[in-house]
Amino acid sequence: MTPPAPSVPARPPAATFVVLAKAPVPGLVKTRLTSAYSDHEAAALAAAALLDSLDAVRAAVALAGPGERRLVCALTGDLDAAAAPVALGAGLEEFRVVAQRGEGLGERIAHAHADAAASGNEDAAADLDGATVQIGMDTPQVDPAVLAAAADRVTVPDGPDAVLGAAADGGWWLLALRRAADARLVAPVPMSTPETGRLTRRALEDAGLRVEAAPVLSDVDEPGDVVRVAASCPDSRFAALAGVLGGRAAVAS
């Protein structure tokens, strides 16, 4: 009698970390900050926030549980024209960069999850069943441990289908998915409104997904956000630059 073949241990599930970013080109990024800061200052703050976000994602990989952890940046815009292009180029060295695509922010987010999950992999269709953990570049204070925990939650067998991190302004800053393909559910959700977070969660739950919440964070959108966010990440590049520039009130037009 032929003995049974030895069992092969199941491979730990992979997760792809995705940073959705816009090249911090003066005059084209963080324009709401320009009521208090110059175009170049606003772009420099955006560059610092992006670099801190990239650092946080790299640190999260070291903290996450077993399984492959890939790094992707879904980028739009010209890095050569951006603030701190050399630093950004160095910061992206460990990331696979994919171009954003889609008509609106919801579509770009959906495509970013799918493109990131498939990026660099032979079986692109199969990888749409893989997990993704996506943030933007507006939360330099993000804790790598929170990102690592989100990756772990959507890859363990009994975990949720999604982890959503609400933003203080009603939006959201984190979307982790057990299946990258489920990002299509957010494509029709109106973005950049006080209802975006609530509507995103509803879209996920209406499709039958189990959703867990991550901690609430504040985005850097308005001049008043700069000092508040900097205070929550005092050792960051963002805080260092904010300290040099100083807190400023918006100038009425």
Q: Region 39-48: what's the mean pLDDT?
A: 98
Q: How many residues does the chain have?
A: 253
pLDDT tens, position by position, 69-124: 899 999 999 999 999 999 999 999 999 999 999 999 999 999 999 999 987 555 44
- CATH topology for 15-244 is Spore Coat Polysaccharide Biosynthesis Protein SpsA; Chain A (3.90.550)
Output the average pLDDT for the chain: 91
Return the structure tokens found at 199. Answer: 């509507």
Segment 234-240 mean pLDDT: 97
The confidence score (pLDDT) of residue 124 equals: 47
For residue 34, pLDDT over 90 is answered with yes
Residue 3 has pLDDT above 70, yes or no: no
Token pair 């241990």 is found at 9
A 10 A CB-CB count for 97 gives: 14
User: Residue 241: its pLDDT value, please?
Assistant: 97
pLDDT score at 218 = 96
With pLDDT > 90 as the criterion, what percentage of the chain qualifies? 83
Picking from 140, 96, 162, 147, the residue whose alpha carbon sits closest to that of residue 228 is 140
Q: Is the pLDDT of residue 35 over 50?
A: yes
pLDDT over 50 (residue 8): no
Q: Write the pLDDT tens digit of every residue in 126-176.
A: 467 789 999 999 999 999 999 999 999 999 999 999 999 999 999 999 999
Q: Show me where the domains of the chain are located.
A: 15-244
**Cα 106–chain centre separation:** 13
CA dist., res. 114 & res. 128, Å (int): 6
- Tell me what pLDDT residue 126 has: 47
The more confident residue out of 223 and 123 is 223
Give 41's pLDDT tier (boundaries 50, 70, 90): very high
User: How sure is the predictor about 9, in pLDDT bands with cuts at 50, 70 and 90?
Assistant: very low
